[in-house]
Amino acid sequence: MDFDFERESKKPTLMKIMIEIFIWAAQIAAVVFLAYFIVYYCIEKTNVVGVSMENTLSANDPIIINKFTYRVSDPKRFDVIVFKQSGKEHSFYNIKRIIGLPGETILIKDGNIYIDNVIIEDKVLVDDMINYGLASEEITLEDNEYFVLGDNRNNSEDSRFASIGNITRDEIIGKAALRMSPFNFISKLNLKDPGAE
């Protein structure tokens, strides 16, 4: 009886190829999963539409949205958020600054923003508002609602107007974190000089 040495020597080679194919497929699956996880849960790139956030952000500025932060913490006052409202006339992302938090009462009068009857000071440089819209009367936010304004106060469609209204938590995509060009953290843009009066 003759022994087929050639057949026996092919077995380890075939096993090695199968292991390499399995490792290669697992690596591709891991990369696809990681890419999906990052895009769906962590970060996303978009461009600013319109001029409502000038002088903080300008039209077409490329920005990075941090989608993860609000999965582990609540949005805070003065955060710049990205949101999308279903059933509204716009299909694009909106970018505005949070002014009022859930449960608070908002009123704008005499050029001031009142939160629960206390004047809040803007942390960014903005023009005095001409049109107070719905906020010329008290607006009390529900437990999941936020009141937002554009930094370009006299050229912004925001919570002062029925076309936008209050933003609900589930409409928030994430926090506008980075401006890509020119590069900067959005939280550092257009801030008032704390030493200025």
Active-site residue identified among 96, 156, 159, 175: 96
Active-site residue identified among 52, 67, 159, 175: 52
135 contact partners, CB below 8 Å, separation of at least 6: 106, 107, 108, 113, 147, 159, 160
Nearest by Cα to 181 from 13, 64, 50? 64
Answer whether 108's CB lies under 8 Å from 129's CB.
yes
Paired sense of beta strands 94-100 and 80-83, if any: antiparallel
Active-site residue, 16 included: no
DSSP E strand stretches across 59-186: 62-66, 80-83, 94-100, 105-109, 112-115, 118-120, 139-140, 145-149, 167-168, 172-180, 183-185
Active-site residue, 67 included: no
Nearest by Cα to 115 from 125, 123, 105? 105
Burial (CB count within 10 angstroms: exposed 0-12, middle 13-18, buried 19+), residue 46: middle
Name the residues annotated as catalytic. Answer: 52, 96
